[in-house]
């Protein structure tokens, strides 16, 4: 198999005395989608955020995150900013929160491109039009002068993806990229992410709790719980022959994998009602 | 059996620079002991329908009859006691529970509503245990629970009023994926045990399939397909229902991308197919 583009090794993240990520190791490879599954609070988002140094200052990060020759853990702000958006880009759950409401789409699509790639205004603009056309935003020329609120939720996520890809990154981190979208819109975004990973040879980290989404586009899957990766493997291994009890419980909790839950759906929950369902008094 | 809730030709509009017709002449009915799911994508009018049913929205025209009586608009005054047998569960338990009141006291409010109506009394402990939590937690405040537990408490509070009709607007979408099916199943079971009817609103068709007896699919303010859940799931007739069902990705590990409809909604989605309504 190819050399990993991004190697996370023994990553541990703590807030005060609590470790929320405990010794996580993951390899992202070019052209492949690595899925990271788990429930809320399992540490999957924190893991993704740590790659870009987006954690609050109170977080302590140990272990290693290597992007090619560059070690990202402990990198200074200035050095990080050469990586952020340039070599590693991120797409978030809610495009209405990640896009700036008062700046035009064109502004948001060309700002970092001009900075990172040193393009002229005109070159950045035509680059932006190409990108919008690629992510299938209708009428890309006109779209540059419009504001995020003038687009639908699905189009906004397409724009956020275009912004992420504008500097031709090696790694794309996607944190619940379709969770806020309707199912018919989600299907379109999944097609787009899959195609982009292949045609741009992107290494994608897909963080999602939705195992249907995971099954549709992930090549490899890691399952997280309480800050640990409890199981990882290829998509087929995880879905068809899960070896860890927790993975099996997660799969069994999906309504369409267990049509028999109708009468006694409550019973399935016991395996999952774990310490994190306890009150945080 | 006579219907508990009858919605007839309901229209809900939001006036403004351009008047938005959120609900465009729909009809539905729910019998006691029956779960009816209303599904559709954001903006299709399902929440407006729920709000009109409980009186939080004044219908432009059409009628909402609860036990044959028109539901009065919800105002600042206390409702007549008989309408407290209609209870609502909202999407976000953070906004439906009182943050400064212990959960036991909030569940007790539901019990008092039932008693005022002449129904049998009960204790908060029974209800919190019915939703799978320990009665030792009654003295806690909402912020001391996780999101999933809070929603269970909101459900316990609604059930404590011994409702005969529950209107639940996306009650499970704020929960973890692994507990969604379990909480939905729990709601169905508790509702049927009490002989109540439920209007269950959701955008998640796979959950609806396992808990609803009948399903109505809403698109742009209109119901495009309705009938027995299993019939709709296994043999959808309307093009919109078909697109919706085939867009759901299945956790089968086969790496199959769900079918994505065109970027522009096809005109066929808005067509009226009389044969797709009231299917058995």
pLDDT at residue A280, as a whole number:
38
Q: What percent of chain B has pLDDT over 70?
A: 100
Mean pLDDT of A56-73: 94
Q: Do A265 and B185 touch (CB under 8 A)?
A: yes
Comparing C-alpha atoms, which of A28, A21, A41 is closest to residue A2? A28
Mean pLDDT of A228-233: 96
pLDDT at residue A39, as a whole number:
86
Q: pLDDT (tens digit, 9 = 90+) per residue, B202-241?
A: 988 888 888 999 999 999 999 999 999 999 999 999 999 9
Mean pLDDT score of chain A, rounded to an integer?
89
Q: pLDDT (tens digit, 9 = 90+) per residue, A201-221?
A: 999 999 999 999 999 999 999
pLDDT at residue A126, as a whole number:
94
The residue among B164 and A278 whose pLDDT is bigger is: B164
Q: Do B179 and A262 touch (CB under 8 A)?
A: no
pLDDT at residue A256, as a whole number:
65
Task: List, in sequence order, every beta strand (DSSP E) within chain B.
Answer: 5-14, 20-30, 35-39, 61-66, 69-70, 86-89, 165-169, 197-202, 214-219, 222-228
Query: How far is A256 from chain B, CA to nearest CA, in Å?
Result: 6
- Provide the pLDDT confidence category of residue A273 given band limits of 50, 70 and 90: very low
Q: Rg of chain B over CA atoms, in angstroms?
A: 19
**Do B157 and B109 touch, CB atoms closer than 8 A?**
yes
Q: Do B177 and A214 touch (CB under 8 A)?
A: no
| Beta pairing partners, B14 | B20
pLDDT at residue B180, as a whole number:
84
Nearest CA in chain B to A180: B42
Mean pLDDT of B171-176: 82
**Do B197 and B28 touch, CB atoms closer than 8 A?**
no
- Provide the pLDDT confidence category of residue B67 given band limits of 50, 70 and 90: very high
| Res B1 pLDDT > 80 | no
Q: What are phi and psi of A145, to 5 degrees?
A: -90, 0
pLDDT at residue A243, as a whole number:
94
**Do A214 and B251 touch, CB atoms closer than 8 A?**
yes
Contacts of B182 in chain A (CB under 8 A): 253, 261, 265-266, 268-269, 272
Q: What percent of chain A has pLDDT over 90?
A: 77
Q: Do A266 and B140 touch (CB under 8 A)?
A: no
Closest Cβ–Cβ partner in A213, A272, A280 for B178: A272
**Do B33 and B196 touch, CB atoms closer than 8 A?**
yes
Residue at token pair 């019939």: B231
Mean pLDDT score of chain B, rounded to an integer?
91
**Do A112 and A169 touch, CB atoms closer than 8 A?**
no
- The region that residue B255 occupies, defined by phi over 0 for left and psi between -120 and 50 for alpha, beta otherwise, is left
pLDDT at residue A47, as a whole number:
96
**Do A93 and A62 touch, CB atoms closer than 8 A?**
no
Mean pLDDT of B30-54: 93
B140 secondary structure, DSSP code: S
pLDDT at residue A1, as a whole number:
64
pLDDT at residue B134, as a whole number:
93
**Do B229 and B212 touch, CB atoms closer than 8 A?**
yes
Q: pLDDT (tens digit, 9 = 90+) per residue, B93-136?
A: 888 999 999 999 999 999 999 999 998 889 999 999 988 899 99
pLDDT at residue A40, as a whole number:
82
**Do B53 and B199 touch, CB atoms closer than 8 A?**
yes
Closest Cβ–Cβ partner in A184, A216, A235 for B243: A184
Q: What are phi and psi of B197, to 5 degrees?
A: -100, 160
| Res A42 pLDDT > 50 | yes
């Amino acid at each position: 198999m190819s050399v990993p583009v991004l190697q996370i090794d023994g990553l541990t993240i703590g807030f005060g005395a609590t470790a929320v990520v405990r010794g996580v190791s993951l390899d992202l490879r070019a052209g492949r989608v690595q899925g990271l599954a788990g429930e809320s609070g399992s540490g999957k988002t924190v893991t993704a955020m740590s790659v870009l140094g987006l954690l609050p200052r109170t977080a302590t990060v140990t272990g290693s995150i290597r992007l090619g020759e560059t070690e990202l853990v402990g990198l200074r702000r200035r050095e990080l900013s050469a990586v952020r958006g340039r070599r590693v880009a991120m797409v978030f759950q809610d495009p209405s929160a990640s896009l700036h409401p008062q700046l035009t789409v064109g502004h948001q699509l060309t700002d970092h491109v001009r900075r990172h790639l040193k393009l002229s205004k005109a070159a950045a603009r035509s680059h932006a039009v190409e990108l919008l056309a690629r992510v299938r935003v209708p009428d890309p020329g006109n779209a540059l002068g419009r504001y995020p609120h003038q687009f639908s939720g699905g189009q906004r996520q397409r724009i956020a993806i275009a912004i992420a890809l504008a500097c031709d990154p090696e790694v794309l981190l996607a944190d619940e990229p379709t969770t806020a979208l309707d199912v018919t819109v989600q299907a379109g975004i999944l097609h787009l992410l899959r195609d982009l990973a292949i045609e741009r040879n992107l290494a994608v980290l897909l963080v999602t709790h939705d195992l249907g989404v995971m099954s549709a586009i992930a090549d490899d899957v890691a399952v997280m719980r309480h800050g640990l990766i409890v199981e990882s493997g290829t998509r087929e291994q995880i879905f068809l022959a899960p070896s860890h009890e927790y993975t099996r419980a997660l799969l069994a909790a999906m309504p369409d994998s267990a049509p028999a839950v109708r009468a006694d759906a409550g019973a399935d929950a016991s395996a999952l009602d774990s310490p994190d369902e306890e009150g945080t008094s | 059996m006579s219907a508990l809730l009858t919605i007839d030709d309901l229209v809900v509009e939001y006036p403004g620079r351009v008047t938005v017709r959120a609900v465009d002449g729909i009809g539905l009915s729910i019998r006691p002991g029956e779960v009816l799911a209303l599904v559709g994508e954001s903006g299709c009018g399902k929440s407006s329908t729920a709000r009109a049913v409980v009186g939080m929205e004044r219908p432009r025209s059409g009628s909402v009859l609860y036990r044959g009586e028109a539901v009065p608009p919800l105002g600042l005054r206390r409702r007549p006691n008989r309408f407290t047998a209609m209870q609502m569960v909202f999407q976000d338990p953070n906004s439906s529970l009182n943050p400064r009141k212990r959960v036991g006291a909030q569940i007790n409010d539901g019990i008092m509503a039932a008693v005022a109506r002449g129904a049998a009394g009960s204790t908060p402990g029974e209800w919190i245990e019915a939703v799978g939590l320990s009665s030792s937690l009654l003295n806690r405040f909402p912020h001391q629970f996780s999101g999933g537990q809070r929603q269970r408490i909101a459900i316990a509070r609604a059930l404590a009023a011994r409702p005969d009709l529950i209107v639940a607007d996306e009650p499970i979408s704020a929960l973890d994926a692994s507990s969604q099916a379990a909480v939905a199943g729990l709601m169905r079971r508790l509702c049927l045990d009490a002989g109540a009817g439920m209007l269950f609103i959701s955008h998640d068709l796979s959950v609806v399939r396992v808990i609803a007896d009948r399903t109505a699919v809403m698109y742009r303010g209109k119901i495009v397909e309705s009938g027995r859940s299993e019939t709709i799931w296994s043999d959808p007739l309307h093009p919109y229902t078909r697109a919706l069902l085939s867009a759901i990705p299945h956790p089968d590990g086969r790496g199959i991308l769900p079918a994505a409809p065109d970027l522009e909604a096809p005109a066929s989605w808005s067509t009226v197919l009389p044969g797709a309504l009231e299917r058995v």
